[in-house]
């Protein structure tokens, strides 16, 4: 991924006169979980914007469940239009997946009942209505979805929500002089992505977090429509990456920066010294550099914890009988359209089927042709996959853990192993650059 580095430019933008503390989304826990999808207003330093949110004006609560919990969700759509709510990264029966087939009409309520059956992970939720995903997410419909389990609860890592364990949702937005960020992509935006001029952190511009010295866990989500971010700290401060999309990494990774593409998550640990400050910096691929969080160390001393070097993780196992035939060619077509294997998404077409209790190896290629060289990311519903190779090489430790979304630069080829255990029905696979998804870069498969 070194080739990315040269594209980041060095303009530094920050809003020094405005400071607001980091919004910590409220926790939503228990067996009965209620979400109201509504219109809202978000106040920003330059004015205010019409938005959408879950149980509030912008974004949504952090749903927190434990493995094997049974949850009964009541999701009321108080918008004046249809939408859906998809649980990104969750292993869930297709009828409760919240993809384009599970429409919640304006004024209606959807009631998925789900038994959690997967390891600790930082997942998220967002709408997935055919052709409207980008707009709904852009307007603010997104939230975190945490799964905990005995293993995660017994680790000696920061796990006190809003105290030493923080959700960090990064999203770029194109904000006009009046403070509005209305969604109106041009043809160029469909191709290159809807790149913003501001990066919001949990819905605020450069918020502040004041905490005692100690070890902190940040659960990072790139919740932007189509911007790739490089995340780092001021003064090149090193941090430890402990988890990717679907849970803990087999080996943690010490780093001074990571690339996170739309839909991906990473959990990191960082040590903050008392009375010192630390800025979280976001470089937008093809865009500017933003100070996205200012962490101020109080004089007091909190909890310092050692950073674990490894975690238990079982890669998806395969053998010589595993189906390796499946290939996915992600292509740009003319006029802002996108396809996978030459086909654009059609709700009435099943692209392929496979039986339950099967393992497959998929090869994904970003076909970079001529002028149409744009990055894509590949996301599959229902499962967490293991990466077998990236451009013919073994994955580095950062890509060796559970993943549900993977970035492919033009010409890249990624091979993944997936295990389809039990649930049946129609699931999606698509590019998680939402402008591409909405313009056809999606397909569906049937597990029967
Ligand atoms: Cu996060 Cu099918 O999406
Ligand atoms: Cu998903
Ligand atoms: Cu794409």
Return the ligand 1 atom nearest residue 442 CA.
2
Beta strand residue intervals within 45-116, DSSP E: 47-54, 62-66, 70-77, 86-88, 109-110, 113-115
Same domain, 271 and 351: no
What CA–CA distances, in Å, run from 236 to 35, 232, 279? 40, 7, 10
- Smallest-distance ligand from the CA of 441: 3
The list of the chain residues with pLDDT below 50 reads 1-16
CB 194 within 8 Å of CB 183: yes
Tokens representing 139 are: 């307007």
Q: Whose CA is nearest to atom 3 of ligand 1?
A: 88
In a shared domain, residues 160 and 280: yes
| Tokens found for residue 113 | 């009942």
H or E stretch at 435: helix 434-438
User: 353 near 447, Cβ under 8 Å?
Assistant: yes
112, 130, 149: which is the final residue of a domain?
149
In a shared domain, residues 72 and 39: yes
Closest ligand by atom to 431 CA: 3
Whether 183 and 66 map to the same domain: the answer is: no
Q: At 226, list the tokens.
A: 């189509």
* Distance between Cα 199 and ligand 2 center (Å): 23
Distance 189 CA to ligand 3 centre (A): 12
pLDDT for 337? 85
- Tell me how far CA of residue 430 lies from CA of 99, 187, 375, 380, 435, in angstroms: 11, 20, 13, 7, 11
Residues with CB under 5 Å of ion ligand 2 are 88, 381
- From the alpha carbon of 99, which atom of ligand 1 is closest? 2
Last residue of one domain, picked from the residues 100, 128, 149 = 149
Is 318 within a domain?
A: no
Q: Whose CA is nearest to atom 1 of ligand 1?
A: 88
Domain boundary pick from 233, 267, 301: 301
β strands within 186-304, DSSP E: 198-201, 204-205, 208-222, 229-233, 239-244, 247-255, 257-260, 265-272, 277-284, 289-301
Would you tell me how many other CB atoms lie within 10 Å of the CB of residue 210?
A: 12
Look at the alpha carbons of 389, 330, 187, 141 in this order and tell me if their dihedral is positive or negative: negative
91 & 201 share domain: no
Residues with CB under 6 A from ligand 1: 86, 88, 126, 128, 263, 379, 381, 428, 430, 432
Q: Within a domain: residue 403?
A: yes
CB 252 within 8 A of CB 396: no
Range of the domain at 400: 324-447
Do residues 206 and 172 both lie within one domain?
yes
Do 203 and 270 share a domain, yes or no? Answer: yes
Same domain, 188 and 110: no
**H/E element holding 325?**
strand 323-333
CA of 378 to the centre of ligand 3 (A): 8
Separation CA 6–CA 418 (nearest Å): 33
* 105 and 180 together in one domain: no
The owner of tokens 């200012």 is: 294
Who's near 419: CB < 8 A, 6+ residues apart?
316, 317, 358, 359, 383
Q: Are residues 137 and 36 in the same domain?
A: yes
Q: For residue 330, is it within any domain?
A: yes
**Sequence-separated (6 or more) residues with CB below 8 Å from residue 302:** 164, 211, 212, 213, 214
In a domain, 307, yes or no: no
Whole-number Å distance, alpha carbon 260 to ligand 3 midpoint, is: 15
Same domain, 351 and 433: yes
Residue 309 lies in a domain: no
What the block records as the tokens of 129 is 């209505």
Sheet strands (E) in 120-238:
121-126, 143-148, 165-173, 198-201, 204-205, 208-222, 229-233
Q: Residue 381 CA: which ligand is closest?
A: 2
- Specify the ligand 1 atom closest to the Cα of 381: 2
Which helix (H) or strand (E) segment holds residue 244: the answer is strand 239-244
Tell me what pLDDT residue 18 has: 57
Give the distance (Å) from ligand 1 centre to CA of residue 123: 11
Which of these, 61, 6, 8, lies nearest to 33 by C-alpha position?
61
Under DSSP, the state recorded for 394 is P
Whole-number Å distance, alpha carbon 297 to ligand 1 midpoint, is 36
Look at the chain and report how many structural domains it folds into: 3
- The Cα 221–Cα 204 span in angstroms is 15
The CATH number assigned to the domain holding 134 equals 2.60.40.420
Q: Looking at the CA of 377, which ligand is closest?
A: 3
Q: Has residue 22 been placed in a domain?
A: no
In a domain, residue 230? The reply is yes
Judge if 352 and 237 occupy the same domain: no
Residue 415 belongs to some domain of the structure: yes
Inter-CA distances, 10 with 7, 283, 290, 353, Å: 10, 8, 10, 47
Say if strands 32-44 and 47-54 run parallel, antiparallel, or are unpaired: antiparallel
Distance in angstroms (rounded) separating the CA atoms of residues 167 and 145: 10
Structure confidence at residue 15 (pLDDT): 45
Q: What pLDDT is recorded for position 45?
A: 85
Contact in structure between 323 and 361 (CB atoms under 8 Å): yes
Interval between CA 87 and ligand 3 midpoint (Å): 20
Question: Residue 220 corresponds to which tokens in the numbers above?
Answer: 């990072």
Which pLDDT score, from 0 to 100, does residue 417 have? 98
| Residue whose entry in the numeric block shows the structure tokens 């990774």 | 253
Encoding tokens for residue 339?
Answer: 């396809």
- Structural element, H or E, at residue 333: strand 323-333
């Amino acid at each position: 991924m070194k080739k990315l580095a040269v594209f980041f430019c060095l303009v530094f933008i920050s809003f020094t006169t405005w400071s607001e503390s980091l919004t910590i989304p409220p926790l939503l826990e228990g067996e009965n979980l209620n979400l109201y999808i509504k219109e809202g207003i978000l106040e920003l330093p330059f004015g205010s914007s019409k938005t959408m949110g879950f149980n509030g004006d912008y974004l949504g609560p952090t749903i927190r469940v434990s493995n094997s919990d049974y949850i009964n969700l009541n999701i009321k759509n108080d918008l004046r239009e249809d939408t859906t709510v998809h649980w990104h990264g969750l292993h869930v029966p297709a009828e409760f997946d919240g993809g384009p087939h599970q429409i919640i009409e304006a004024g209606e309520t959807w009631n998925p009942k789900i038994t959690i059956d997967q390891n600790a992970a930082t997942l998220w939720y967002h709408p997935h209505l055919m052709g409207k995903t980008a707009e709904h997410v852009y307007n603010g419909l997104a939230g975190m979805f945490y799964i905990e389990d005995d293993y995660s609860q017994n680790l000696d890592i920061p796990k006190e929500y809003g105290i030493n364990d923080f959700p960090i949702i990064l999203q770029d937005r194109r904000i006009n002089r009046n403070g509005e960020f209305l969604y109106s992509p041009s043809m160029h935006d469909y191709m290159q992505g809807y790149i913003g001029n501001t990066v919001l952190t949990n819905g605020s511009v450069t918020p502040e977090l004041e905490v005692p010295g100690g070890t902190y866990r940040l659960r990072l989500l790139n919740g932007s429509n189509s911007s790739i971010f490089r995340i780092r700290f001021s003064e090149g401060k090193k941090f430890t990456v402990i988890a990717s999309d679907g849970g803990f990494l087999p080996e943690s990774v010490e780093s001074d920066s990571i690339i996170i593409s739309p839909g991906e998550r990473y959990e990191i640990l960082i040590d903050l010294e008392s009375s010192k400050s630390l800025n979280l910096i976001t470089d937008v691929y093809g865009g500017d550099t933003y100070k996205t969080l200012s962490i101020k160390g109080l004089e007091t001393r909190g909890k310092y914890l050692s950073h674990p070097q490894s975690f238990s993780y079982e890669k998806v196992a395969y053998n010589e009988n595993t189906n390796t035939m499946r290939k996915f060619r992600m292509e740009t077509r003319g006029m802002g359209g996108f396809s996978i294997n030459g086909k654009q998404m059609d709700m009435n077409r099943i692209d392929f089927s496979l039986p339950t209790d099967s393992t497959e190896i998929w090869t994904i290629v970003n076909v970079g042709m001529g002028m149409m060289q744009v990055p894509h990311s590949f996301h599959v519903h229902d499962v967490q996959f293991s990466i077998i190779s990236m451009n013919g090489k073994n994955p580095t430790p950062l890509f060796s853990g559970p993943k549900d979304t993977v970035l492919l630069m033009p010409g890249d080829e990624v091979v993944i192993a997936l295990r389809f255990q039990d649930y049946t029905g129609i699931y999606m696979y698509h590019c998680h650059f939402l402008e591409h998804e909405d313009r056809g870069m999606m397909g569906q498969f049937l597990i029967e």
